[in-house]
Amino acid sequence: MKKESTWALYFLLLLLTSIFFFNFVYPFDRQFLSRFAFLSSSYFAHKKSPFIGACDYTRGHWVWDETYPHRLYDENCPFLDPGFRCHQNGRKSERFRKWRWQPDDCDIPRFNASVLLERNRNGRIVFAGDSVGRNQWESFLCMLTQGVSNLSKIYEVNGNPISKHKGYLVMRFQEYNMTVEYYRTPFLCVIGRPPLNLSNNVRRTIRLDELHWYSKKWVGADILIFNSGHWWNPDKTIKSRNYFQEGGRVNMLNVKEAFRRSLQTWKSWALHNLDPRSSVFFRSFSPVHFRNGTWNDGGRCDKQTEPENDPTKLETEPYHNIFISGVVKQMQYESRKAHFLNITYLSEFRKDGHPSRFREPGTPPDAPQDCSHWCLPGVPDTWNELLYAQLLSEKVGMNKKFPERG
């Protein structure tokens, strides 16, 4: 028994020595060490990894930083919708702008517009999804202005105004021959007339097996950022007499199952139509913060003036993320670059970041508060910083011109 104990102790010491030696010689692999919880939680608790991509940027906390917003942009950015300019719309305090997301074990690389523009010279960046995706797109445009000497050389190629536009918009950065595009497709799928001889109760159908025709325009893009989820609820579907269709058949599915099937359609389209070298991101669900009701029955968020500081008060993981992350994982094979851009947890804390009652001029006084979209500058800037960090870590957008697909 004594001999066995000696050998067990010897083996444990050898194991510990090997782990520490391996970590000293090679860059620290947090995922590997997380298997040894008794080591990673204590010895590495305060170590910050200098290696891009070696950290989980999605776990951390918001810290007060007086200098944070001044390095990005302000409400004078010409590409912001009036509804997102919260200070100009009457929100007196600007404290909501001065919180910076700090990951637990590393620092987010500082966003460098010039680097991103140069790496994507002659390229295309596409955002597709609902109006919260537009929120992120406008933030991205404004962040990129820091790398452009003349804002007049950024323009919409079809001459369309940015505000109050519901189709698609293509912003060209003339100095770099690069476009940053937005396509409004809340469901990503086609929405159309129902089959003939169907009940009058069915107003339109969401065709779960057919991606929106805008998808033809996404082919050839170098970087694509998708989002969906906010319209996948009973109010926007069944209660609005929008039912689900596959082929010529209208199915009485629940919304969750319909959303899952739509993502499978998106995945199949992406695998068959996008160049494997394209970088594809699907952003996670952006949380809403209505209190004492929903958006259409008096829900509010104008009293929320500070970030939440108690993680136990956050909502549980939305089912959308389970489906989205699962589909993205199915695409991650060979040389494909598919990513789940997880912003839900960090955004859950920011109950103070919405326009709330500070809507654009002309909004009726009794209009619902906006606790879904975000003030800009604001939380979506952090989403784009995480996007930038991911692009840096994988050396994406290195002036590659994809050939035509045969």
Q: List residues with catalytic annotation.
A: 131, 370, 373
Residue type, 346: L
Tokens matching residue 365? 């006084």
Distance (Å, rounded) from C-alpha 9 to C-alpha 3?
10
Task: Specify the residue for token string 């917003």.
Answer: 69
Task: Specify the residue for token string 């003030």.
Answer: 375
3-state SS, residue 333: coil
Of 133, 116, 319, the closest CA to residue 222 belongs to 116
Taking the CA atoms of 209, 288, 132 and 384 in sequence, report the sign of the dihedral they define: negative
Sorted by sequence, the CB contacts under 8 Å of residue 43 that are 6+ apart come out as none
Q: 278 exposed, middle or buried (CB, 10 Å; 0-12, 13-18, 19+)? A: buried
Distance (Å, rounded) from C-alpha 268 to C-alpha 217?
16
What's the DSSP call for residue 285? P
CA 281 to chain CA centroid, Å, is 8
Q: 404 exposed, middle or buried (CB, 10 Å; 0-12, 13-18, 19+)? A: exposed
Of 108, 72, 51, the closest CA to residue 386 belongs to 108
Distance (Å, rounded) from C-alpha 188 to C-alpha 211?
6
